[in-house]
């Protein structure tokens, strides 16, 4: 009954049989069973580890895969004008609505779109926001810190008040399916809205000013001379803030390559020779340093020499006429160059620079925006920078706001404000001033005698009266509101304006000079001051004068 023994091939002599192969089969079978048993033990051990030892861990991980936490961008605070009109605000998506792809940015964050009213009108002042870069994240000093993918203010008011406008992000917990599709909202922590910023800006006046210069290269500054509040700040050409918010790359690229530099804020970043508006500073220096007094007269003979160079008065150069004996009031009224050449010579370049410093020229105004310092030259400056000596002709050029001198429109607006408010240099204010006592802290009384201020104010008054240079503002009047006057039809109410015009050589290819004017009104109790610069515009009185007139008219007729 025994089975036949295994056999194997032997040598060439035949086949040999053996009887011990049963034990080999048993060994193979035993190894096979042992391997199966070992596998079951490992499987059981792993199952025990997954379900008992790490059960809670994997259960939590499963819940996390089912639930997703989404950051909700904090809606940025509103920017409003002095009357409460909205300049910029965020459109906030409902935090309880279904998550749509368009609501999330690349960092899976619910975003809100910022909307700008009249974006081209306000862009250079208000600025824009963009995605925060590495430097923004690293140098962030605000209470609510920036996170990767957040947008932050990059220019203008948006940058200056970024910490206040920025709110605290919220969170939203949502349930998703295996494919990552939204199922439902589990919980929401609402974001905290950023602070509202109320500017001193008058949006209606801003729009009017922009309309007057939108087709030329220009800068306009409108202030409340008593407080330094900026009522309007226009730089043209402008750009559209909304393009940066909406990432309109084609438009943004066009701004970067535009030769007219629309991203350049001419109000604070542009430096220009101020021309005859600078004569207000020179007149102050001459009077305060006792180089001249109210009785000093200089004869206008049409031209004057400095070495081999001849310097003429504008009236003589254009019309071949002279103006006889000229005192300081007449010199301001007629913008007489001969008078200012001589008092500049009497006063000296160093004292002119000293008073320029007192007026805040050649340094930042601390408004908080990107701004240039400008240049007030001196003998040391010329020697150090140009490696040249200072000559009398340099003093003559400086005395009429030409040559090496360069100032920003904002700086010259603050100079004019000093004579409007009785001698105070005010720090420019972008926010609306709520506290009536704020002027004490914001405005510094300059060491100018009341006599000097009165003389210069009188000259500015006469400059905007018959016989002066500011002809567009002669007999300035506004139409009254008949409903308030209690009569039929409209009547004209005269308002006395004080001003100083300026025409400054630009050295541009066009050969056209820059047109300037600074004006304030009413003369006895100024409410508003306007400074206008038109690049390569022509004569200050002819080009800048009508713009200032229309802004003043818009302000006073609306007030009626």
pLDDT tens readout for residues 93-136: 666 555 554 445 555 677 888 999 999 999 999 999 999 999 99
Strand 498-504 to 514-521 pairing: antiparallel
Task: Considering only residues 188 and 315, tell me which one the structure prediction assigns the higher pLDDT.
Answer: 315
Taken as a whole, the chain contains a residue count of: 560
Task: Considering only residues 128 and 32, tell me which one the structure prediction assigns the higher pLDDT.
Answer: 128
pLDDT given for residue 26 in this prediction: 74
SS3 7: strand
Q: Is the model's pLDDT at 376 over the cut of 80?
A: yes
Taking the CA atoms of 375, 379, 384 and 386 in sequence, report the sign of the dihedral they define: positive
SS3 96: coil
Q: Is the model's pLDDT at 488 over the cut of 90?
A: no
DSSP state of 468: S
Exposed, middle or buried, 75 (CB in 10 Å: 0-12/13-18/19+)?
A: buried
List the one residue out of 415, 405, 424, 431 whose CA is nearest residue 531.
Answer: 415
Q: Is the model's pLDDT at 10 over the cut of 60?
A: no
- Mean residue pLDDT of the chain comes to 88
List the one residue out of 227, 315, 330, 332 whose CA is nearest residue 281.
Answer: 332
pLDDT given for residue 268 in this prediction: 98
pLDDT given for residue 102 in this prediction: 46
pLDDT tens readout for residues 499-531: 999 999 988 788 899 999 999 999 999 999 999
pLDDT tens readout for residues 332-342: 999 999 999 99
Which of 100-104, 411-415, 474-478 has the highest mean predicted lDDT (pLDDT)? 411-415
The pair phi, psi for residue 523, each rounded to 5°, is -60, -45
Q: What average pLDDT score do residues 450-473 get?
A: 97
**C-alpha–C-alpha distance, residues 379 and 395, integer Å:** 10
DSSP state of 50: I
Q: Is the model's pLDDT at 288 over the cut of 50?
A: yes
DSSP state of 5: P
> For 65-74, 229-238, 538-547, which range has the lowest pLDDT when averaged over its residues?
65-74
Q: Which two tokens stand for residue 197?
A: 């910023």
Q: What average pLDDT score do residues 524-539 get?
A: 96
User: Is the link from the previous residue into 522 a cis peptide, with omega within 30 of 0?
Assistant: yes
Task: Considering only residues 100 and 36, tell me which one the structure prediction assigns the higher pLDDT.
Answer: 36
Residues 167 and 145 sit within 8 Å (Cβ to Cβ): no
Partners of 220 in the β-ladder: 234, 532
Percentage of the chain lying above the pLDDT 90 cut: 69
**C-alpha–C-alpha distance, residues 312 and 335, integer Å:** 12
pLDDT given for residue 46 in this prediction: 75
Q: Is the model's pLDDT at 220 over the cut of 80?
A: yes
Angle at 240 (CA atoms; ends 237, 244), nearest 5 degrees: 130
């Amino acid at each position: 009954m025994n089975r036949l023994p295994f056999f194997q091939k032997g040598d060439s002599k035949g086949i040999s049989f053996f009887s011990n192969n049963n034990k080999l089969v048993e060994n193979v079978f035993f190894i096979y069973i042992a391997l199966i048993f070992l596998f079951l033990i490992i499987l059981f051990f792993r199952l025990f580890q997954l379900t008992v030892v790490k059960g809670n861990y994997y259960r939590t991980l499963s819940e996390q895969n089912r639930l997703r936490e989404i950051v909700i961008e904090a809606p940025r605070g509103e920017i409003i004008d002095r009357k409460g009109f909205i300049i910029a605000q965020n459109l906030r998506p409902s935090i309880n609505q279904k998550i749509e792809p368009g609501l999330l940015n690349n960092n899976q964050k619910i975003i809100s779109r910022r909307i700008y009213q009249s974006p081209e009108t306000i862009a250079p002042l208000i600025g824009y926001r963009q995605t925060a870069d590495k430097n923004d994240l690293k140098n962030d000093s605000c209470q609510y810190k920036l996170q990767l993918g957040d947008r932050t203010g990059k220019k203008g008011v948006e940058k200056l008040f970024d910490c206040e406008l920025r709110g605290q992000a919220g969170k939203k917990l949502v349930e998703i399916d295996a494919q990552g599709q939204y199922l439902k909202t589990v919980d929401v922590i609402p974001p905290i809205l950023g602070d509202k910023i109320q500017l001193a800006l008058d949006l209606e006046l801003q729009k009017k000013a922009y309309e007057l210069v939108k087709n030329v290269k220009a800068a306009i500054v409108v202030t409340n001379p008593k407080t330094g509040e900026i009522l309007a700040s226009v730089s043209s050409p402008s750009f559209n803030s909304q393009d940066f918010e909406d990432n309109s790359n084609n438009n943004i690229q066009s701004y970067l390559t535009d030769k007219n530099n629309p991203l350049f804020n001419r109000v604070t970043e542009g430096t220009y020779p101020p021309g005859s508006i600078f004569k207000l500073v020179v007149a102050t220096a001459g009077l305060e340093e006792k180089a001249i007094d109210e009785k000093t007269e200089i004869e206008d003979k049409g031209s004057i020499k400095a070495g081999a160079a001849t310097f003429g008065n504008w009236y003589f150069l254009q019309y071949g006429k002279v103006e006889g004996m000229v005192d300081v009031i007449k010199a301001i009224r007629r913008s007489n160059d001969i008078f200012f050449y001589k008092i500049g010579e009497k006063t000296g370049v160093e004292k002119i620079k000293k008073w320029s410093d007192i007026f805040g020229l050649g340094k930042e105004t601390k408004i908080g925006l990107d701004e240039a310092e400008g240049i007030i030259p001196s003998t040391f400056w010329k020697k150090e920078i140009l490696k040249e000596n200072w000559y009398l002709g340099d003093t003559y050029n400086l005395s009429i706001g030409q040559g090496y001198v360069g100032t920003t429109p904002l700086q010259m607006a603050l100079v004019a404000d000093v004579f409007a408010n009785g001698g105070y240099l005010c720090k420019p204010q972008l926010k609306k001033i709520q506290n009536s006592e704020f002027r004490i802290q914001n405005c510094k009384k300059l060491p100018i005698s009341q006599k000097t201020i009165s003389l210069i104010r009188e000259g500015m008054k006469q400059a905007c009266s018959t016989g002066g240079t500011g002809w567009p503002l002669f007999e300035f009047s506004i139409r009254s509101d008949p409903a308030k006057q209690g009569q039929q039809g409209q009547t004209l109410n005269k308002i006395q304006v004080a001003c100083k015009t300026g025409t400054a050589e630009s050295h541009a290819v066009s050969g056209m000079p820059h047109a300037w004017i600074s004006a304030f009104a009413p003369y006895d109790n100024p409410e508003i001051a306007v400074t206008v610069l038109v690049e390569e515009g022509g004569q200050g009185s002819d080009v800048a004068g009508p713009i200032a007139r229309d802004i003043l008219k818009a302000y006073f007729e609306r007030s009626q």
